[in-house]
Amino acid sequence: MPGIIGPSEYSEEPTRHPSLKVNAKEPFNAEPPRSALVSSYVTPVDLFYKRNHGPIPIVHDLQSYSVAVTGLIDNPRKLFMKDIRSLPKYNVTATLQCAGNRRTAMSKVRTVRGVGWDVSAIGNAVWAGAKLADVLELFGIAKLTSSTSLGGKHVEFVSVDRCKEENGGPYKASIPLSQATNPEADVLLAYEMNGETLNRDHGFPLRVVVPGVIGARSVKWLDSINVIAEECQGFFMQKDYKMFPPSVNWDNIDWSSRRPQMDFPVQSAICSLEDVQMVKPGKVNIKGYAVSGGGRGIERVDISLDGGINWTEASRTQTPGKHYISEHESSDKWAWVLFEATVDVSQTTEVIAKAVDSAANVQPENVESVWNLRGVLNTSWHRVLLRLGHSNL
């Protein structure tokens, strides 16, 4: 398309932060050290996980770049960046999480397919741009609309990039029109991240941000927006990112039997300690993140040192120095909380963290109960082992 191309090879990839753990080089998929996630409430852009399915698109003329808005609407046309920037600008603090976050722990139970993510395929950022509801209103689609007069019920986002799963075609995904036209859903066409212009890895010049939903629906490098009658039929909606029970394998899988995953479940992870950490006897500080999809707040985070028999509640914060209340108007409803607790350790100990969200959803105890062949949505209790010895904290 004019102004931007999706290359077919990897010769012009952007520079990345040297501390990132590279899980796949081509396409580039990487996550930061887990300790970086609890260093600040807002994740620095360079340390935000990178999830890609092909070479990073290249913008060569921003003035000619446009997004086609088409489909079951009365007046399809192109929008240029100046059109999008002329709309009211909103800042939305939202956590994005890859559905495969914590996949490595699931693969230890039974082999799964997918990028081997640890606990850091997640990040929290301040996204800025136009609300999709305002954009669609330019095309005669009123706020809080669930169907257009021509029968459109879903909004499909198509990327510029090329990925092998689409046989060299673009990445694509969709959300219901009712969500796209709801201003309270805060779906953005974002052009800034943490107060700066998006960089190439994160979707420059324009991306979708769908808060509270798995990252796979927040399409980067936007090429077109299509109002369609049925949900997107692309690979990543129909043949991936679905939740199957442990009994399903690659021989008996029926992709059509499950809906595409949207909201992510309640999740938490300890980030101040590695899976096995040497510590000295005495007080040990436990820090991590907790988050839930769909705009649900975190009601509490519990820490156990005895296998889940007894629990201690951790403190929860968002903005430093500001008291966090789950789902209060002063809190960021789409964002994670950072938790902290201090425990006394006198022997080799397994530390467990579990979160409870505002709808009383609780993380499942065991990985085995949520195991699935694609290794998605591992939200089981997070566990680290503390061994007594020379501390490497």
For residue 146, give both structure tokens. 């669930």
Average pLDDT of the chain is: 96
392, pLDDT greater than 60: no
pLDDT at residue 271, as a whole number: 98
53, pLDDT greater than 70: yes
**Using an 8 Å Cβ cutoff, are 256 and 262 in contact?**
no
Task: Kindly report the number of other CB atoms within 10 A of residue 113's CB atom.
Answer: 12
Higher pLDDT pick, 178 / 323: 178
Higher pLDDT pick, 323 / 28: 28
Query: What pLDDT, in 10s, does the model give residues 234-283?
Result: 999 999 999 999 999 999 999 999 999 999 999 999 999 999 999 999 99
pLDDT at residue 208, as a whole number: 99
Task: Kindly report the number of other CB atoms within 10 A of residue 376's CB atom.
Answer: 26
| Cis-peptide into 27, omega within 30 deg | yes
% of the chain beyond a pLDDT of 70: 99
Query: What pLDDT, in 10s, does the model give residues 77-91?
Result: 999 999 999 999 999
DSSP 329-365: TTS-TBS-EEEEEEEEESS-EEEEEEEEETT--B--S
- Average the pLDDT over 366-392 and give the result: 92
Residues in the chain: 393
Any residues with CB less than 8 A from the CB of 248 and at least 6 apart, and which?
Answer: 372, 373
For residue 55, give both structure tokens. 């070479």
Distance of CA 88 to the CA centre of its chain: 25
Query: What pLDDT, in 10s, does the model give residues 112-171?
Result: 999 999 999 999 999 999 999 999 999 999 999 999 999 999 999 999 999 999 999 999
Give the position of tokens 């081509």.
26
Task: Supply the DSSP symbol for 389.
Answer: S
pTM, rounded to two decimals:
0.96
Residue 294: closest CA among 336, 354, 334, 237 = 334
pLDDT at residue 370, as a whole number: 96
User: What's the chain's Rg over C-alpha atoms?
Assistant: 21
SS3 for 252-300 is CCCHHHCCCCCECCCEEEECCCCCEEEECCEEEEEEEEEECCCCCCEEE
| 221 three-class SS | coil
Q: How confident is the model at residue 33 (pLDDT cuts 50, 70, 90)?
A: very high
pLDDT at residue 47, as a whole number: 98
- Average the pLDDT over 276-294 and give the result: 97
pLDDT at residue 393, as a whole number: 46
In whole angstroms, what is the distance from residue 285 CA to residue 283 CA? Answer: 7
| 326 three-class SS | coil
**Using an 8 Å Cβ cutoff, are 155 and 125 in contact?**
no
Task: Kindly report the number of other CB atoms within 10 A of residue 91's CB atom.
Answer: 13
- Binning the chain into helix, strand and coil, the percentages to the nearest 5 are 15, 35, 55
| H or E stretch at 178 | helix 177-180
| H or E stretch at 134 | helix 132-137
182, pLDDT greater than 90: yes
pLDDT at residue 323, as a whole number: 87
- Average the pLDDT over 165-194 and give the result: 97
pLDDT at residue 92, as a whole number: 98
**Using an 8 Å Cβ cutoff, are 252 and 2 in contact?**
no
User: Residue 57 to residues 14, 205, 271, 353: CA-CA distances in angstroms?
Assistant: 10, 10, 32, 39
pLDDT at residue 173, as a whole number: 98
Q: How confident is the model at residue 321 (pLDDT cuts 50, 70, 90)?
A: confident
pLDDT at residue 390, as a whole number: 63
190, pLDDT greater than 50: yes
Which domains does the chain carry? Answer: 4-239 (3.90.420.10), 267-388 (2.60.40.650)
